[in-house]
Amino acid sequence: MMRLIRSELLKYVSTRTAWGLTAGMFLTGIGFAALFGALFVYGDILDGVELSEVAPPLLLARVIYTSAIQFGYLLALVIGVLCIGQEYRHHTVTGTFLATPKRGAVIAAKVVALCLIAVVSGVVHVAGALVGGGAILVSADLPVYPEAADLTRTLLLMLLVLALWTLIGLGVGVLIPNQVAALSLAIAVAWIVEPLVAFGLTFVEWGESASRFFPSQVTAATLDIFTGANDTLTSALGGPSDPLGWATGATVLLAYAVVMALVGLILTRSRDIA
């Protein structure tokens, strides 16, 4: 198994795409954390009241450092999809399955390799967010790293979220071998379909409890940044009103990934590689 994981890691680092995606992780982190940081610190989002006066420093730091995560997890999704999609696209899957005819083992190796890749990419993303968001906090003379233990937990949860989204990407990629189709579908669902459906569901009674299980909602729940914050502040900052607990959230994200990967795996085992 170690050999297969090493092979998968080598596959990832031996193309420029990997470096592009890693750079993307850093740039989205730095760019959006700075942008949203500036908005939260200098923008007028609470009708004349400065956010930094009402929000505890920990909440402010958490909101700013996680503000780029939507872009981060989209990139994580792309990494996951490409991990298998590239193999079909360039027919390297033939060589992969010739070297390892046990296709389940290949997918398992990809899962482990992707977790490692996700953690490295995630650290890069978090570093970017710390630089971008931190710069804004410094400029406003606000605490950059308040309540170290709690803030560190948030940053670690960001890594978890990114890793889970990478696995969701793998699930989508395994399920849909055409990488263009898989990418378009995954992005469309994450960014267009989900918000629309969530909006539609606000009109029905059970809608709210259902939309809690949507990927973006679950992601927000997993990050768990609004615990203890008051409701007005939470809704002003776009936080979920009645989120799942972080562990439940992480489990739901994992379930999405596992279900898709399992269905994909069953299809992959019998799929003809022509």
Partner 1 sequence: MSHRTVSAPTEGGTDIQIQSLAKSFKDFTAVNDLTFEVQPGRITGFLGPNGAGKTTTLRMLLGLVRPSAGHGLIGGQRYAELEEPLRVVGAALEATNFHPGRSGRDHLRVLAATHNIPDRRVDELLQLVGIPAAAKKRAGGYSMGMRQRLGLAAALLGDPQVLILDEPANGLDPEGIRWLRGLLRALASEGKTILISSHLLSEVEQTVDDVVIIANGRLVRQGTIEELHGDSSTLVRCTDPSALVTVLDAQGMTSRVADEQEHGPGAVEAHTGDMTAVGEAAYAGGVVVHELRTLRTDLERLYFELTEDPEMTDRNREQT
Residues in the site for partner 1, rule: CB under 8 A? Answer: 3-4, 6-7, 10-11, 14-17, 86, 90-92, 94-95, 97-102, 270, 272-274
Q: How far is the CB of 15 from partner 1 (least distance, A)?
A: 4
In this structure, what are the phi and psi dihedrals at residue 46, rounded to the nearest 5 degrees? -120, 35
Q: Minimum distance between the CB of residue 124 and partner 1, rounded to whole angstroms?
A: 20
Whichever of 43 and 95 has its CB closer to partner 1, that residue is: 95
Can you tell me which residue has the tokens 């982190």? 29
Cβ distance to partner 1 smaller for residue 178 or 235: 178
DSSP β-bridge partners for residue 46: 49
- Report in angstroms how near the CB of residue 17 gets to partner 1 at its nearest: 7
Q: Which is nearer to partner 1, 48 or 101 (CB)?
A: 101
Q: How far is the CB of 197 from partner 1 (least distance, A)?
A: 35
Cβ 13 to partner 1, closest distance in Å?
A: 9
Measured CA to CA in angstroms, residue 117 lies from 3, 85, 145, 152 at distances of: 16, 16, 26, 20
Could you tell me the smallest distance in angstroms from the CB atom of residue 120 to partner 1? 19
* DSSP letter for each residue of 116-162: HHHHHHHHHHHHHHHHHHHHHHHHTT--SS-SHHHHHHHHHHHHHHH
In whole angstroms, the minimum distance from the beta carbon of 73 to partner 1 comes to: 24
- CA-nearest of 29, 172, 187, 188 to 110 is 172
Nearest residue (CB) to partner 1, 19 versus 191: 19
Residue with smaller CB distance to partner 1, 6 or 191: 6
State both tokens at 134: 């931190």
Comparing CB distances to partner 1, the nearer of 188 and 267 is 267
132 touches 33 (CB < 8 A): yes
Facing residues of 49 across strands?
46
Residue closer to partner 1, measured from CB, 6 or 232? 6
Q: Which is closer to partner 1, CB of 202 or CB of 270?
A: 270
Shortest spacing between CB 93 and partner 1, in angstroms: 8
What is the rounded CA–CA span in Å between residue 101 and residue 217? 39
Q: At what angle are helices 69-89 and 215-223 packed, to 10 degrees? A: 120
CB 52: neighbour CB atoms within 10 A? Answer: 17
Handedness of CA 115, 116, 120, 121 (dihedral sign): negative
C-alpha 8/C-alpha 16 separation (Å) is 15
